[in-house]
Structure 1
């Protein structure tokens, strides 16, 4: 409780735009989790789509997001954060309405692709805006607050979706409510833009797109982080895809309960883990997150008992907290300020892991069957562990870079002293 009160006092000093992003994140994630986690169940039980096709539909969202995320972040560097965020959020709202009226498989593929497109444009831009308006010394707190909002929305959204009939019935109400929430957030962003257009920079230094690409994708530390994050993003994707089909096909209440455990675990673990990992580098935290992610996944397939499944979710969530919050902070450390949107956008290429793993998980369920949980999730655990060597190599390069930077500062200080 004392830690939470201390954090609330810290959050009180955030810029109003930062609060707008954090509160808007809570609203949008509540709407998102009302629908998307149940989409696989809805397609299978209500629309009669087979598991492999469901996996492919869900994978389409991640694939399109992967291809477009860099463009969204880079555009926000060129055009300003607000225009990109407002346009993406308004279009995202219309996409959720599209899910409600879709009937054919190709229509669900289209809506899923648009969902990935607008999410991949909006998310890196929002993270870049949060970094823009937050001093470096408070950036970690701001991203923790944003992640806290994500998970509170992740707790409330599934409960609201379940009450409104998401997944288990043909009710369209969850889609309508979710779309309305997204539209309201777009309106809030318009108000923020008008109120703070003179105090928050709208555009960064104009850098040609080709130069952005060269700078971002020749940064070896960032590239090792990105490749490792492909496997972690793939591990996380199973929460909404493979796990939703594996448990949700006959125990939808248990699946909803696991989402609540996920959220409560974030609330309980986030700040103790953050305090603990301050003793270590960001990439060390990511390596620990990789191991916990994999072990949690294996537990989902190994156990049937609800208490042990909840324990597996706690382990999984610890990996999630370490991986995603620290990852956002690390990008803020690596990226030059005028290319922050491009770096956050490029980090979206990790969605290729979500796309491939969502599809691969569906194929495993379709091929091996729902009775082979231990085998299926053991395979997924091993895939997650592949992130470890990439984070380790990136850590070595990052420490070497920091060492050169410190040495350069010492030399400059010596020269000034002599002069």
Structure 2
């Protein structure tokens, strides 16, 4: 019996670089969740900006993120993972300082765009680095650990943000603390870069250009359908930080904060058993199930006012989140040719367009229909989430491992 317990509770034997990314992910997401989920509330209550403009400010971050993701993936294949990660993290720290002191509406648009840019440059490269240093048989476990770290940060961050006064009259301290956390992470990355020089990517030939990355998207059919499905899935998730924060947070900040904590705690509790259970099915079956759960959870947010039922809706929503994001990251690692892994993870930033569009649509619906039309608003948003299903289904029909002639030929030509 003792042997079994040791196996169950053992610390995973990931590469030190993987542990560096996972611990850094916890730090960065703590800083992120301290401020950004409350940004819509802060802009409305403190700065007096209307819901439609707030939706546009939040949406521009996600739209610019699409371009950053492609560029970050291409640069990391050419320059190596660490230089791109360090530069983007250091610049991201400065963005939070900007949020602390900004006052004009146009400046929030600029800062939101930069926030999306540096986030989308950094995150695909970090995921590619995790895949680089982790054997294929351990990737589900390492991406589970990364997502676990994200949600530990998601549980701690909002509580710290509320304690520091985010969403109230104070803006300076929460944003400056987030900036300091990001600066610390950039410093840790520099230490890892010099400690593990042998893990830096150094190709004799250049990696994929942005144009070649676009060619990958339209020649790898399963990857294309995965991206199209993720467009709507990412849009569904965007409402947690944007539409839902305005809809509930405009008069019930504590309830919204509690929902956010329920979301992160559910990930911590359900992530491992749910992903283990879904291993008996194909990855795209898990993604199809996830988009259905996303839709059901979103509809519940608009349908219910009772806090317990809102918590239940968040549990359903979170199950969809786990299936779509953890399984999606693993699937990209399976699909991508090794030398183009950064390009594939970068190309996955196409989903940011879905986040941008849906965040904007959510703001328009709140502005046009009013805060009293929750069932109608979130019913529309749920239908948009369900639009992912046929794309995932088509991708499943084409096969689970679609690395074919075109991407291989591209890999040789790079």
Same fold at TM > 0.5: yes
Deviation at 1:9, TM superposition (A): 2.0
Q: Residue 106 of structure 1 corresponds to which residue in structure 2?
A: 106
- Change in Cα spacing, 1:337 to 1:184, as seen in structure 2 (3 Å) is same
- Change in Cα spacing, 1:33 to 1:385, as seen in structure 2 (3 Å) is same
SS at match of 2:291: helix
CA contact (8 A) 2:77 2:208 kept: no
Q: 1:303-358, CA deviations, whole angstroms, 9 ceiling, x for partnerless residues?
A: 11111000000000000000000000000000001000010011011010100110
Q: Residue 302 of structure 2 corresponds to which residue in structure 1?
A: 301
CA contact (8 A) 1:90 1:182 kept: yes
- Change in Cα spacing, 1:22 to 1:401, as seen in structure 2 (3 Å) is closer
Query: Is 1:277 matched with 2:278?
Result: yes
- Change in Cα spacing, 1:199 to 1:122, as seen in structure 2 (3 Å) is closer
- The 2-side partners of 1:127 and 1:363 are apart by 33
Q: Residue 90 of structure 2 corresponds to which residue in structure 1?
A: 90
Q: 1:124-149, CA deviations, whole angstroms, 9 ceiling, x for partnerless residues?
A: 00000000011111011000000000
- Change in Cα spacing, 1:274 to 1:199, as seen in structure 2 (3 Å) is same
Q: 5+ unaligned residues in a row in structure 1: which ranges?
A: 406-419
Deviation at 1:206, TM superposition (A): 2.2
Q: 5+ unaligned residues in a row in structure 2: which ranges?
A: 406-414
Q: Residue 338 of structure 2 corresponds to which residue in structure 1?
A: 337
- The 1-side partners of 2:50 and 2:213 are apart by 42
- The 2-side partners of 1:307 and 1:322 are apart by 23
- Change in Cα spacing, 1:5 to 1:326, as seen in structure 2 (3 Å) is farther
- The 1-side partners of 2:272 and 2:147 are apart by 11
CA contact (8 A) 2:334 2:401 kept: no
- The 2-side partners of 1:183 and 1:259 are apart by 25
Deviation at 1:101, TM superposition (A): 1.1
Q: Residue 132 of structure 2 corresponds to which residue in structure 1?
A: 132
- The 2-side partners of 1:82 and 1:203 are apart by 14
Matches within 5 A, 1:146-161: 146-161=146-161
- Change in Cα spacing, 1:23 to 1:330, as seen in structure 2 (3 Å) is same
Q: Residue 247 of structure 2 corresponds to which residue in structure 1?
A: 246
- The 2-side partners of 1:365 and 1:218 are apart by 39
Deviation at 1:5, TM superposition (A): 6.8
Query: Is 1:41 matched with 2:41?
Result: yes
- Change in Cα spacing, 1:196 to 1:57, as seen in structure 2 (3 Å) is same
Q: Residue 64 of structure 1 corresponds to which residue in structure 2?
A: 64
- The 1-side partners of 2:123 and 2:354 are apart by 17
Q: 1:263-303, CA deviations, whole angstroms, 9 ceiling, x for partnerless residues?
A: 11111111111111111110000000000000000001111
Q: Residue 75 of structure 1 corresponds to which residue in structure 2?
A: 75
- The 2-side partners of 1:358 and 1:313 are apart by 18
Q: 1:45-89, CA deviations, whole angstroms, 9 ceiling, x for partnerless residues?
A: 000000000000000000000122111111100100000000000
- The 2-side partners of 1:59 and 1:113 are apart by 9
Q: Residue 410 of structure 2 corresponds to which residue in structure 1?
A: none
- The 1-side partners of 2:253 and 2:6 are apart by 35
CA contact (8 A) 1:231 1:387 kept: yes
- The 1-side partners of 2:376 and 2:35 are apart by 29
TM-score w.r.t. structure 2 length? 0.94
Q: 1:344-390, CA deviations, whole angstroms, 9 ceiling, x for partnerless residues?
A: 01101101010011010000001111111011000000110000000
- Change in Cα spacing, 1:243 to 1:86, as seen in structure 2 (3 Å) is same
- The 2-side partners of 1:123 and 1:152 are apart by 17
Q: Residue 165 of structure 1 corresponds to which residue in structure 2?
A: 165
- The 2-side partners of 1:386 and 1:318 are apart by 18
TM-score w.r.t. structure 1 length? 0.93
Q: Residue 195 of structure 2 corresponds to which residue in structure 1?
A: 195
CA contact (8 A) 1:78 1:204 kept: no
- Change in Cα spacing, 1:367 to 1:264, as seen in structure 2 (3 Å) is same
Aligned length: 402
Deviation at 1:257, TM superposition (A): 0.5
Deviation at 1:205, TM superposition (A): 4.8
- The 1-side partners of 2:5 and 2:80 are apart by 34
- The 1-side partners of 2:83 and 2:238 are apart by 29
Q: Residue 54 of structure 1 corresponds to which residue in structure 2?
A: 54
- Change in Cα spacing, 1:369 to 1:4, as seen in structure 2 (3 Å) is farther
- The 2-side partners of 1:56 and 1:32 are apart by 19
- The 2-side partners of 1:214 and 1:4 are apart by 48
- Change in Cα spacing, 1:8 to 1:77, as seen in structure 2 (3 Å) is farther
- The 2-side partners of 1:80 and 1:398 are apart by 31
SS at match of 1:9: coil
Coordinate RMSD, CA, aligned: 1.8
Deviation at 1:216, TM superposition (A): 3.6
- The 2-side partners of 1:188 and 1:383 are apart by 40
